Structure 1
Amino acid sequence: MTLEVLGSAVLGLVLAWAATHRFARRLPTRPLVYSTGVIGALFGDFITHSALGPGSALLSLLGAAVVSAASLSLLLRPAGRLRRRSIPA
Structure 2
Amino acid sequence: MLAFELDDFVERLATRIASFPITAIQSVKLAGDAAQDDPREALLEEAHQFNLLRGTSELHLVGATFNGVAAGVEPLPCSSMFVRIDPG
TM-score where L is the length of structure 1? 0.29
Larger Rg: 1
- Which protein has the bigger helix share? 1
- Provide TM-score, normalisation by structure 2: 0.29
